[in-house]
Amino acid sequence: MEIAEIIGTLIMLIILQIVLGFDNLLYIALESKKAPLIKQEFVRKLGISIAIILRLALLFILVNLVEKFKDPFLNISSDIISFKMNLHSLIILLGGGFILYTSIKEIWHMISFQNKETSTEKESTSKVIFMIVLMNLVFSFDSILSAMALTDNFLIMAISIVVGGILMILAANKVSDFLQKNRKYEVLGLFILFLVGVMLLTEGGEKAELIILDSSIHSMNKTTFYFIIVILVFVDIVQSKYQKRLIKNN
């Protein structure tokens, strides 16, 4: 492989890490808020740093045992439901289910009578770091498998993961600061996470060849996903401007 080709592949992989890391970054920003205020930046940096190391280990495992992740270990077929579950689809389904549960729980807290802002209860730093690392690994599968489709050079993939992780550390603080200064966008962020959960569930269902009542589960198209996000952002901007105009006129 020539130097120009190596550099081109590396840049492509870094861009891939950034694009596929958007939803992960949003989760990190929202999850880190559960830690004590003075520990939040430390939690983000340490959580992502540990996740980078584990991503490299996961890359090594997938490169050498990728077929094992594809082989079904549970095969069920009936008139109501049928699927061929492998390790990859199981991890994605569990991750999607957890993100869906988390987003719904946080949205419920926002609209319930419980005032979380005045509460002094915070989750432990170690628990928040653990959740950031765990979900980072869930999000890692697609980016690593996509990278493996572009190149078989382990070093190039490893460098892209490290560079992508460093960029994520830098961006995480900025995203968290933005959400802290613009609290209204937290709702938008949670609904985007909700969509991420739905997308992962459909993706895991497709990989598991899940069929419910003779209806196959198909993965949500990435273009559709990003289109919905753009619409959500646009609606939020229009709603905000309209609300300000109403307040000004009154």
Tens-place pLDDT, residues 10-30: 888 887 777 767 777 888 888
Average pLDDT over the chain reads 81
**Chain mean position to CA 78:** 32
Q: Where are the alpha helices (DSSP H) in the chain?
A: 3-20, 22-32, 40-70, 87-111, 125-150, 154-181, 185-207, 222-249
How much is the pLDDT for 223?
A: 82
Instruction: Kindly indicate the confidence band of residue 221, based on its pLDDT and cuts at 50, 70 and 90.
Output: confident
Whole-number pLDDT of residue 199: 86
* Domain-located, residue 194: yes
Between residues 18 and 201, the one the model is more confident about: 201
> Average pLDDT in the 149-177 region?
84
* Domain contains 78: no
- pLDDT at residue 118 greater than cutoff 50: no
Cα 77 to Cα 107, 184, 216, 235: the distances in Å are 36, 46, 13, 43
Does residue 224 sit within a domain?
Answer: no
pLDDT exceeds 70 at position 122:
no
DSSP 220: P
In a domain, 248, yes or no: no
Note the pLDDT of residue 120.
43
Q: Is 241 within the bounds of a domain?
A: no
Burial 145-168 (b: 16+ CB within 10 A, else e): eebeeebeeeebbbebbbbbbebb
Q: Residue 217 carries which DSSP code?
A: -
Q: Identify the pLDDT of residue 119.
A: 44
Q: Is residue 247 part of a domain?
A: no
Stretch 203-207: mean pLDDT, rounded?
87
Within a domain: 96: yes
Q: Is residue 202 part of a domain?
A: yes
Span 105-117, average pLDDT = 67
Is the pLDDT at 121 greater than 70? The verdict is: no
Task: Say how many domains are in the chain.
Answer: 1
pLDDT tens-place string over residues 30-59: 888 888 888 888 888 888 888 889 888 888
Higher confidence at residue 156 or residue 119? 156
Task: Please check the confidence at residue 112 and state whether its pLDDT lies above 80.
Answer: no
Identify the domain containing residue 182 by its residue range. Answer: 3-72+84-219
**Does 113 have pLDDT greater than 70?**
no
Mean pLDDT value across residues 57-73: 77
Query: Whole-prediction pTM value?
Result: 0.68
> What percentage of the chain has pLDDT greater than the value 70?
91
Report pLDDT for 131: 86
pLDDT score recorded for residue 75? 86
Q: Cα–Cα distance between 235 and 66 in angstroms, integer?
A: 42
Which residue has better confidence, 170 or 68? 170
Section 82-96 average pLDDT: 83
